[in-house]
Amino acid sequence: HLIYVLNGPNLNLLGLREPEIYGSDTLDDIAGMLEDRARELDCEIDMRQTNHEGVLVDWLHEAQAEGAKAVLLNAAAFTHTSIALLDAIRAIAVPVIEVHLSDPQAREEFRHRSYVGMAAVDEVKGMGARGYVVALEKAAAL
Ligand code: DQA
């Protein structure tokens, strides 16, 4: 089973960026954790990061074209702004699981609305890096 793991803006700085909120694991650390679990679950991971909204849209379309079983999507700040991402998730048949390291509901009000969440089949938030592994387990069980 092919699982896309797509990460949005500023997540390339994970580990350095506001570690009191996001933790000290880097995106590479998370990729390593996911690879280990993916082997056990008989899944293949394709993990990527971009700072550009349209690239995330392209990758969602690609997930469908490549026959991915599911997408784990941490759209970062675009979560709260992007109707284009909402439409892209609705445009594909591949189920998308929303992932956040922090719990946006427990933070500033401008993080409370999630366009991704309006179309995602499930969500994992507030669990830090481990949440990606939990999301992978959910994806494998779909
Ligand atoms: C985030 C939460 C978003 O509100 C924020 O803009 C991020 C990271 C998270 O993983 O907790 O960049 O998606």
Q: How many Å apart are CA 69 and CA 64, to the nearest integer?
A: 8
Q: Is 100 in the pocket of ligand 1 (CB under 6 A)?
A: yes
CATH class of 2-141: alpha beta
Q: How does pLDDT run across 45-68, given as a tens digit for each residue?
A: 999 999 999 999 999 999 999 999
Would you state the structure tokens that stand for residue 65, as one six-digit string?
């074209």
As to burial, measured by CB atoms within 10 angstroms (0-12 exposed, 13-18 middle, 19+ buried), residue 4 is buried
pLDDT higher than threshold 90 for residue 23: no
**Closest listed residue to residue 136, CA positions, set 65, 67, 47:** 47
Task: Quote the pTM value.
Answer: 0.97
Q: Whose CA is nearest to atom 9 of ligand 1?
A: 100
List, for residues 105-131, the tens digit of each pLDDT value.
999 999 999 999 999 999 999 999 999
The yes-or-no answer on residue 22 being catalytic is: yes
